[in-house]
A = this chain, B = another copy of it.
């Protein structure tokens, strides 16, 4: 039987640009694939929002990606993976790959005695999604979780090696460092940028598991199994598309995006009001619907 190919792009979304760490790994593992990326910068962060809200946002974005004719969707956002994966899989037939299951699988493989730590946003840790997934694979595993809500703003400030970030990490990781862990899941796409610091604090015996990179690996495997990898293209290489729901505001945006992606970010399209359903509806508000009665 001849190998089959599927030239359609891989869809990736995240609450912002942190998901570019997963795209970097897709580029590395699947150099012939086209990627369509969507970052919901108008509504980020997701980490402090409810399951219902995160699911609604995720369904809207997945609808947008499906209209871009993607062959699968990588949910690079840990919060959206915790909350919305099932809703997306129920709604569409195309494969939807989250970050939780691949990262849990990697951590279990790297932890013979089942000593696993998890760091993430309040929502990811609070959801218990990693705990549940690890226990499916290794019911006897000991899982110690810690929400680290200041890590994302510190990364976005660019303070990757700042004294403040060291102090914050020492405080957040105190219990995890004392727990004889074999692996630590970085359950947020921003955290790989803190990997040198986390590695220094946790020590050489603790494997750091990058959830975005594991999702990229799972995607490569799944597409290979389904005969859906793209064929090697021409000399121009694959054409990627990056969409954001809001203009980048920080002057540091380009630098931060580059540190996530591992290369300069190509041209970004800010989605037009007509591209996402919530934009359309907002514009349908009639003017002068109120005012004080005279």
A153 located at the interface, meaning its Cβ lies under 8 Å from any Cβ of chain B in the complex: yes
A92 pairs with B59, CB closer than 8 A: no
B residues near A43, Cβ cutoff 8 Å: 42-43
Instruction: Give chain A's interface secondary structure class.
Output: helix
A66 pairs with B278, CB closer than 8 A: no
B residues near A123, Cβ cutoff 8 Å: 249
A154 located at the interface, meaning its Cβ lies under 8 Å from any Cβ of chain B in the complex: yes
Q: What 0/1 pattern do residues 38 to 57 of A give for CB contact below 8 A with B?
A: 00011110001110110010
A249 pairs with B48, CB closer than 8 A: yes
B291 pairs with A93, CB closer than 8 A: yes
A247 pairs with B50, CB closer than 8 A: yes
A1 located at the interface, meaning its Cβ lies under 8 Å from any Cβ of chain B in the complex: no
| Copies of this chain, tallied across the complex | 2
Q: What 0/1 pattern do residues 89 to 108 of A give for CB contact below 8 A with B?
A: 00111100000000000000
Which of A's residues lie within 8 Å of B, judged by CB? 41-44, 48-50, 52-53, 56, 59-60, 62-63, 66-67, 71, 91-94, 122-123, 126, 149-150, 152-154, 156-157, 163-164, 167-168, 171, 246-247, 249-250, 277-285, 287-292
B287 pairs with A91, CB closer than 8 A: yes
Given contacts A157-B150, A246-B53, A281-B280, contact A91 B122 (CB under 8 A): no
B residues near A153, Cβ cutoff 8 Å: 149-150, 152-153
A288 pairs with B92, CB closer than 8 A: yes
In the A-B complex, the 4 residue pairs with the closest CB atoms: A281-B281, A66-B290, A93-B291, A50-B247
Instruction: Specify which of A59, A60, A168, A288 lies most central, judged by the most chain B CB atoms within 10 Å of its CB.
Output: A168
Q: Could you show 16 A-B contacts with beta carbons less than 8 Å apart?
A: A48-B250, A53-B246, A63-B290, A66-B290, A94-B290, A94-B292, A122-B249, A126-B249, A150-B164, A164-B168, A164-B171, A277-B284, A277-B285, A278-B281, A278-B282, A280-B281
Given A43-B43, A63-B285, A94-B292, 18 more contacts at CB 8 Å? Answer: A42-B50, A48-B249, A48-B250, A49-B246, A53-B247, A60-B282, A63-B289, A66-B289, A91-B288, A92-B291, A93-B291, A93-B292, A122-B249, A153-B153, A167-B167, A277-B285, A278-B282, A281-B284
